[in-house]
Amino acid sequence: MTMPLPSLPPATPPVTQPAPAIAMRGLAKRFADKVAVNGISLDVPAGSFYGLVGPNGAGKTTALSMVTGLLRPDAGQVWVHGADVWADPRAAKAMMGVLADGVRLFDRLTGRQLVTYAGLLRGMDRDTVAARAGDLLHVLGLEESAGKLVVDYSAGMAKKIALATALIHAPRVLVLDEPFEAVDPVSAASIRGILADYVAHGGTVVVSSHVMDLVQRMCSHVAVIAGGNLLAAGTVDAVRAGGSLEDRFVELVGGGSATGGLSWLHTS
């Protein structure tokens, strides 16, 4: 059973109680002749651990870019705890921690400098930044590499330092695009621990991922996106409807029937 999609009239600030951490209404983006996001409306309840899943090219990154203020939508609106991202970006951005996918880091800084930079950019005072940067580097296992230039980091380490830059200002909402990509299992486990703790204490997390299993275990809610459309959204239990999330996902998105067709690949 899929939860019915929220069908509030567009352009009205959400009135549901309590106010959702993120509310999207009719969010749409077109690149040249390709519709990347086709009018998505979605509420992310405060205190939820929200998974955003979809095949490659589904529009996950595009949608998240419009939520985080990196990409101006063609139509639609986004609110973060009531602040309109596109009318009052500074208020909305102050509440969000963002891990964008596929962007560079200021990698000629050392790890500690990069995290400090992110804190100071947000207008935090020096002592708080120093203390939190130390904590983050410690928890993420980057203490030894804190003095190395980020350009010399491995992909997984770079992902972790980028996560630290998203956490430093203690945001109310975390938007993480593919946070577990290239991260080793041990680090992934510690990141999951950090995020679970964050949610348990009132924070809201939105993650995009390809890994259904991870989303099913980790998230409280999930939204399935394909071809720029929202196919299903709700609690993980409601969306998977008794089956595994992976099966439900394949069923929703379609495809996946063409297994076992490559007989020439059988070497024996």
Partner 1 sequence: MVAHLLRLKAILLRNGFRRSPWQLVGVAAAGLYGLFLVALLFMGLFYLGGTDPGFAAAVLVPAVSAAVLGWALLPVLATGVDLTLDPARFTTFTVRPWELVAGLLLSGFIGVPGLVTLFLFAGQALAWRQVPAAAAVAVPCGVLAAVLCLALARLTTTAASALTASRRFRDAAAVLLIVPLLGLGPVLTVVVAGFEDALGWLPRAAAVLGWTPLGSFAAVPADVAAGSWGTAAVRLALSLAYLAAVVGLWKRTLERALETPREGPRGGRTASGLGAFARFPATPWGAVAARCLAYWRRDPRYAVAILAVPLVPAMMWVVAVQAGSTALMLWTGPIVAVLLAFSISADVSYDSTAFALHATSGIRGVHDRLGRVAACAVFALPAVLAAAVLPPVLLGEARLLPGVAGLSLGALASGFGVASVASARFTYAVPPPGESPFKNPPGAGMRMVVVQLATMWVMGLLLLPPLALLVAHLVTGNAAFGWAGLVAGPALGAVLLVAGVRLGGRWFDARVPELMQATVLNR
Q: How far apart (Å, rounded) are the C-alpha atoms in residues 10 and 25? A: 6
How far apart are the C-alpha atoms of 24 and 244, rounded to whole Å? 27
Of the listed pieces 122-130, 180-188, 192-200, 222-230, which binds partner 1 according to CB under 8 A?
Answer: 122-130
CA distance 249 to 111: 38
129 touches partner 1 by CB under 8 A: yes
5-64 residues near partner 1, rule: CB under 8 A: none
Contact flag: residue 96 with partner 1 (CB under 8 A):
yes
Distance CA 142, CA 144 (A): 6
23 with 78: CB under 8 angstroms? yes
d(CA 120, CA 105): 16
> With CB under 8 A, what is the number of residues at the site for partner 1?
41
Q: Which stretch binds partner 1 (CB under 8 A): 9-17, 94-102, 207-215, 251-259?
A: 94-102
The C-alpha angle 102, 104, 106, rounded to 5 degrees, equals 155
- Residue 208, both tokens: 């995009």
Mask: binding to partner 1, 155-174, rule CB under 8 A, as x and -? ----------x---------
Shortest approach of partner 1 to residue 103 CB, angstroms? 4
Q: Based on CB atoms, which residue is closest to partner 1, 106 or 200?
A: 106
Smallest separation, CB 219 to partner 1 (Å): 22
DSSP code for 188: H
**81 neighbors 21 (Cβ within 8 angstroms):** yes
**Residue span binding partner 1 (CB under 8 A) among the ranges 41-49, 144-152, 217-225, 231-239:** 144-152
A 10 A CB-CB count for 264 gives 6
Closest Cα partner for 168 from 204, 137, 211, 193?
137
250 binds partner 1 (CB under 8 A): no
| 182 lies in the binding site for partner 1 (CB under 8 A) | no
Nearest approach in angstroms of CB 22 to partner 1 is 14
Interface residue with partner 1 among 103, 131, 155, 196 (CB under 8 A) is 103
Please give the residue ranges that form the binding site for partner 1 (CB under 8 A). 68-72, 89-90, 92-94, 96, 98, 100, 102-110, 112-113, 116-118, 120-126, 129, 147-149, 151-152, 165
